[in-house]
Amino acid sequence: MFPFDSHTAFLLVGVLYIFMSVFTWIALIKQRSYPIALWCIGGLLVGLSMIMHILQIGSLKWFATLLIFAAVFVRIQALRIDQGRPWRTHWIVIAITILYLGFEAIHFFVVNQVLRAQYFNVVCIGLFSYLGILAWQIGHEEQSLNAKWIAVVYVLLASVFLLRIFVLLGKSDINVSILDGNIGKIFVILLMVTATIGHFGYIGLALDRSRRRELLAIAEINNQRLALQIKQSRAEERNRLLEDIHDGFGSQLMSARLMIKHGELSQSQVAKLLDECVGDLRLVVDLLNGQDNDLATILINYRHRLSYRVSDMPTKLVWDINLDPSPTIPESTALQILRIIQESITNALKHANPDFIWITISCLKNETLILSVCDDGTGLPEPLKKNRGLINMEKRSRDIGATLDVLKCNKGTNVLLTLKQTTNLDLTTP
């Protein structure tokens, strides 16, 4: 199977382990971490152990087996750290010490090389199998093919030690070296494969994790940026509301205060002005009560409040809110729509003396919002003069990107607001 004997190949595998460990450390220079360092140290220890075992370095020969145990435990610790559940260092030291003392106790007290070899086989089966299980768990959790390849080669390596257990059954103290016979050649081949795939697989796993961390970092930055944009947009929306409040009933109250102070308003005029301010304030309250700025909910709340104010009037308000799904809109847009409705109703009550006012709002299939405030009053005067109320409604419609039309009906007036969804609305199911 080899053009050279297994012992020479074993020595070369030891050199290969050292080389691959150094190569892995250099290849992962940008991803270096404590687990990566442990993985590379484990490879170095395996390589040194193999070299010591073949070269039969005098008093250090016993050290080769200890290095093997330590190397596997170091790599197990590297994978356990990757899983977020590392062992305590002193427990690892204790475990290595106990396993090694058991190995040496058989040599000094039992003096049975076969039993000693079987003990070594069982320990290696347990350690390599556990190492393979950890790698497979990581591969399954992280969907990493590289980690699964690491698991496969270590399970195969454990299988060789299991096969050696059966080979040594019934044997005496001769030919107990794992490098003897075909088993030894298979073992050396698997060690080469493990050295290569184990290190390249770990490099691939580390690179996969690095890319995943980069993607998660980018996603986190994007999420933070989006949250900041939403927060800024929300703040801007609040500021616009405050400005609107200040310029609306806030300005009216300041003017009324000055006029009252100078005796320029009668009691009825003061009551009328206060009613307008209260109505303006209620618009804002209706808006802020909507948790998600759902237009249907905002309109229903406004209709409920308005019904108390007009309950004693001869004019009847007829509402038809047909929003399914209901659009979620900015607060400033909702406020302008409510004020256009309020101004339209006020103008109809003040100038047209209608019996009915129909407020209809719907969303067409092309996602265009249509608002209609229609009355059966006296109709538009000839010629039509734009008063302050109509001018304000036109300005409000322009501010939200809508169009406003004041139309003559067979009897009465129709105020029609058209708002395209593509730039102003967000349709969601309520």
CA 218 to chain centre: 11
Partners of 294 in the beta sheet? 328
Count each helix (H run) and each strand (E run) in the chain, helices first.
13, 7
Beta strands in 364-411 (DSSP E): 368-375, 403-408
Is pLDDT larger for residue 209 or for residue 152?
Answer: 152
Beta strands in 232-355 (DSSP E): 316-322, 327-328
Which of the 8 DSSP states describes residue 87? P
Q: Give pTM, 2 decimals.
A: 0.56
Q: What is the pLDDT of residues 29-63, one digit of tens each?
A: 888 889 999 999 999 999 998 888 887 755 566 78
Q: What is the pLDDT of residues 318-371, one digit of tens each?
A: 999 888 777 777 777 887 888 888 888 888 887 888 888 999 998 877 678 899
Judged against a pLDDT cut of 90, whether residue 131 lies above it is answered with yes
Judged against a pLDDT cut of 80, whether residue 423 lies above it is answered with no
Angle, helices 6-27/181-245, rounded to nearest 10 degrees = 10
Q: What is the pLDDT of residues 282-319, one digit of tens each?
A: 666 666 655 556 778 778 877 877 776 677 778 888 99
Provide the phi-psi class of 375: left if phi over 0, else alpha when psi is between -120 and 50, else beta. beta
Please report the pLDDT score of residue 135 as a whole number: 92
Is pLDDT larger for residue 46 or for residue 169?
Answer: 46
Distances (CA, A) of 368 to 42, 333, 420, 426: 68, 14, 4, 11
Q: Per-residue b/e over 320-334, b at no fewer than 16 CB within 10 Å?
A: ebebeebbbbbbbbb
Judged against a pLDDT cut of 60, whether residue 428 lies above it is answered with no
113, two tokens: 């090389």
Residue 20 burial (C-beta neighbours within 10 Å; 0-12, 13-18, 19+): buried
Give Rg (Cα) of the chain.
42
**Taking a C-beta distance cutoff of 8 angstroms, is the pair 310, 322 a contact?**
no
Q: For the CA atoms of 161, 166, 167, 169, what is the dihedral angle to 10 degrees?
A: 120
Mean pLDDT, residues 233-262: 68
221, two tokens: 């930055």
DSSP string, 32-59: --HHHHHHHHHHHHHHHHHHHHHHT-GG
* All domains of the chain in start order, with CATH: 6-223 (1.20.1070), 292-427 (3.30.565.10)
Is pLDDT larger for residue 395 or for residue 332?
Answer: 395
Highest-scoring range by mean pLDDT, 124-128, 270-274, 426-430: 124-128
Mean pLDDT, residues 146-156: 91
Mean pLDDT, residues 69-85: 92
Which of the 8 DSSP states describes residue 294? B
